[in-house]
Amino acid sequence: MRQNPSRRPLMMAAFALSALGALAVPAAQAGSMTWNWNFTGSAYDEGQISGTGTLTAQQQSGSRYLVTSITGIFDNYDISGLFNPGSLGGNDNLLYGNPPSLGLDYGGVSFGVTRNGHTHGVNLYQYFGTDYVYSPWLLDDGAYGQFSLSAAPTSSVPEPGSLALFAGALGLLGALAALKRRRSAASRDDSDDERS
């Protein structure tokens, strides 16, 4: 059966979108990931301190991951949200490493905790292999301990560009199917007219 030449550009476009969608899949897998995090340690003047929750990090390049959100509890106080980079203790909100082994850097990750109706800043950072807490409002002298992430990401979020490519390819394939049905119906009508 010979193809109609007018459909070739549409079929080529559908093939191109499908190929681009296939190439975009690895980018979506390397995108945002949600991790369970945990911190346990000792405050210099207040005894044990701990925190737990989830954070979402977006891969920036190579082994750099930018933390985009954080939730949980720290030192028995609710975490109110992530602080902007550079707002507390030189924080950059970056994690380094290769999953599942991500860790803090010297800039650290900063977030707020709600205590007595006020938001207080907390910065978790690493210095020469030891994890520390800087929080002038929550702890008088800081704390040290161990920050860790769960062994594997709990979920993966596809990037919007991948979803758009997928939707475009589906739309184009739907348009091709509608065009085929329309032409098939028209050719049946023409053949019925010729028989009469």
- pLDDT interval class at 115 (50, 70, 90): confident
DSSP for 79-142 reads EEEEPPTTSSTT---EEEEETTEEEE-SS-EEEEEEETTEEEEEEEEEETTEEEEE-TTT-SS-
d(CA 50, CA 41): 6
* Pairing of β 101-104 and β 143-149: unpaired
Q: What is the pLDDT of residue 106?
A: 92
Q: What is the pLDDT of residues 53-63, one digit of tens each?
A: 999 999 998 89
Q: What is the pLDDT of residue 7?
A: 56
pTM beyond 0.85? no
Question: What is the crossing angle of helices 8-29 and 160-195, to 10°?
Answer: 160
Q: What is the pLDDT of residues 8-59, one digit of tens each?
A: 555 555 555 444 444 443 343 347 888 899 999 998 777 898 999 999 999 9
